């Protein structure tokens, strides 16, 4: 199945790595630091250095060759300033998308923001992190316009609460609510381990339906 998880040391990515390892799925964790590679290796997790900020498209192509799927779980979260947001959340994403396409990746999974539509830029929630929302908007548009089969996951307000494995998913909810990072990872797991779940775009909140059933039953086409 050969999955590359970029941002494997992040809040959502680390949970996804744990779930993939627990279920013996073939994957590689993409991280930015040598010590992170070594630490994951000590835990019997395959890991590789990948930095969407510093790596060129050509370097990313070489690192992505041979992978069937790429999960992009990288982001500043709007907390690092507009310049870094543009560098990582926009250009980093665009480079990863272009590299995946040229490397022959079959499926690209984007962990986006809650609402990346242009009309969301000036909503009360998005206004606080407008550069981040704008960056995610254009990254998502670039992905939709690429030649890649793709899935875009829009999490609610991320928390570090233990995930129940139960979620609510929809194309658009009326209001943003909490979602545990672990529950977002459960959704990503269902996306990368079931081909029937590819090509969807959905918002995710903590909810009452097992992630496997919720993602399988959702159809935004």
Written as six digits, the tokens of 51 are 């930095």
* φ, ψ dihedrals at 150, nearest 5°: -145, 160
Sign of the dihedral through C-alpha 144, 171, 131, 162: negative
Lookup result for tokens 């550069």 = 131
**Active-site annotation holder among 132, 140, 151, 201:** 132
Pairing of strands 201-206, 149-155: parallel
**Cα–Cα distance, 193 to 150 (Å, whole number):** 14
Q: How far is CA 200 from CA 6, 75, 149, 216, in A?
A: 20, 21, 10, 10
Burial class of 25 by CB neighbour count within 10 A (0 to 12, 13 to 18, 19+): middle
Written as six digits, the tokens of 175 are 């209001």
Residue 189 a catalytic site member: no
| SS3 call for 140 | helix
Evaluate whether 34 touches 48 at the Cβ level (below 8 Å): no
Query: Which residues carry out catalysis?
Result: 132
């Amino acid at each position: 199945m050969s999955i590359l998880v970029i941002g494997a040391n992040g809040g959502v990515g680390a949970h996804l790595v744990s779930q993939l390892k627990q279920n013996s799925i073939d994957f590689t964790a993409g991280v930015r630091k040598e010590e992170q590679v070594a630490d994951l290796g000590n835990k019997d997790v395959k890991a590789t250095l990948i930095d969407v900020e510093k790596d060129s498209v050509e370097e990313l192509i070489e690192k992505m060759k041979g992978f069937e799927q790429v999960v992009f779980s990288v982001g500043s979260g709007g907390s690092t300033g507009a310049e870094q947001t543009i560098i990582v959340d926009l250009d980093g994403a665009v480079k990863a998308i272009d590299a995946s396409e040229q490397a022959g990746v079959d499926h690209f999974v984007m962990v986006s923001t809650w609402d990346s539509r242009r009309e969301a830029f000036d909503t009360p929630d998005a206004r606080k992190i407008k550069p981040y929302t704008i960056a995610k908007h254009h990254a998502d548009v670039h992905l939709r316009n690429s030649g890649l089969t793709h899935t875009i996951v829009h999490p609610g307000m991320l928390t570090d609460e233990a995930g129940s494995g139960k979620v609510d998913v929809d194309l658009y909810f009326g209001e943003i609510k909490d979602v545990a990072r672990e529950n977002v990872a459960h959704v990503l797991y269902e996306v990368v381990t079931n081909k029937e779940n590819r090509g969807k775009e959905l918002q995710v909140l903590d909810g009452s339906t097992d992630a496997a059933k919720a993602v399988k039953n959702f159809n935004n086409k």
